[in-house]
Amino acid sequence: MNLNPLRLSPQTLRRSRPWAVLLSLAAAFVTWELVSRFSGLPAFILPAPEQVAVRFWRALRQDNLLLHTAVTLSEILLGLLSGTLTAVGLGYAVAKSRLFERLAAPYLVASQAIPVVAIAPLLVIWFGPGMFSKVLICALIVFFPVLVNTVVGLRAVPRALHDLMRSLRARRGQIIRLLEVPAALPVLLGGLRIGATLSVIGAVVGELVGADRGLGFLINTARGLYDTALVFVAVFTLIALALALYALVAGLEKKFLSWQESHE
């Protein structure tokens, strides 16, 4: 499962020049403007950039855009948090105990085999159209990649460092805090980066299936009213959320993994 075939790591992004990013954004907007102006497509198919901008300000005042954004963001963050905590906890048990691994493996593999997107309607039926069902969907979708990365990260802790800690009579908690967590952190944060992206998808899918607020709900409503400019507003807001989360994980990596950075 390669979710990042272009290897778009934070390092790649940091290396790209700001002017190059601005230039490519400007080119996209100009193209969009030209197409919307000269193609003759009506605004409910393709609104022009300035129409979307105007709609954005109106959405802020009239359509509770901030509330919907806050709802979706909360679902994403709560889902990410609970999914990550569960996955790290179970991952620790799997990495440490062969017995537990054998007992849990069938369920873990099954949890991966079920497409969460397909059971989203079921979860909404069971847990209602409120935030809880979306948090659950996010948590489920985040769970597996984080669990796998936790196990891989913990298994990769060199035996020699375990020997060192034991020869110094380190206690269990000290081994976790001073050896296992830092050693597994690079791989764990890699899992979190995948998880953060996935949880945005999870929240929106859940909201599209059935919700009374959130950006997915807003998209559904706007689509029904042929208010395509509002769909654009919601989509751009989602993109901003996803980028912010990505930046958050990248920030964590920068803070905790500076020892890995090359000195070129």
Partner 1 sequence: MVPPILTVRELSVTFPDSNGGLDALGSASFEIYPQEFVCLLGPSGSGKSTLLRVLAGLLQPTGGEVVFAGGQPKIGMVFQQANLMPWRTALENITLPLELENVPPAERRARAQALIELVGLSGFEQAWPRDLSGGMAQRVAIARALIHDPDLLLLDEPFGSLDALTRERMWEELSRIWQARQKTVLMVTHSIGESLFLADRVLVLSQRPGRVKFEMKVDLPRPRADEMRYTPHFSKLAKRLKEAIE
Residues of the shown chain interacting with partner 1 in the complex, contacts defined by CB under 8 A: 158, 160-161, 163-171, 174, 178-179, 182-183, 185, 257, 259-260, 263
Strand, helix or coil at 223? Answer: helix
Tell me how far, at minimum, the Cβ of 178 lies from partner 1, in Å: 7
DSSP state letters, 8-31: --HHHHHHS-HHHHHHHHHHHHHH
Tell me how far, at minimum, the Cβ of 230 lies from partner 1, in Å: 47
Strand, helix or coil at 2? Answer: coil
State which residue, 33 or 261, has the beta carbon closest to partner 1: 261
Tell me how far, at minimum, the Cβ of 170 lies from partner 1, in Å: 5
Closest CA to 199 of 2, 3, 13, 1: 3
State which residue, 42 or 182, has the beta carbon closest to partner 1: 182
190, two tokens: 């890699």
State which residue, 53 or 257, has the beta carbon closest to partner 1: 257
DSSP state letters, 152-167: HHHHTS-HHHHHHHHH
Which run of H or of E encompasses 181? helix 181-209
2, two tokens: 């390669």
Tell me how far, at minimum, the Cβ of 174 lies from partner 1, in Å: 6
State which residue, 73 or 157, has the beta carbon closest to partner 1: 157
Tell me how far, at minimum, the Cβ of 11 lies from partner 1, in Å: 16
Tell me how far, at minimum, the Cβ of 94 lies from partner 1, in Å: 23
State which residue, 185 or 247, has the beta carbon closest to partner 1: 185
* C-alpha span between 10 and 246 (Å, rounded): 8
Cα dihedral across residues 246, 249, 254, 260: positive or negative? negative
Helix residue ranges, H only, 63-115: 65-96, 98-113
State which residue, 54 or 175, has the beta carbon closest to partner 1: 175
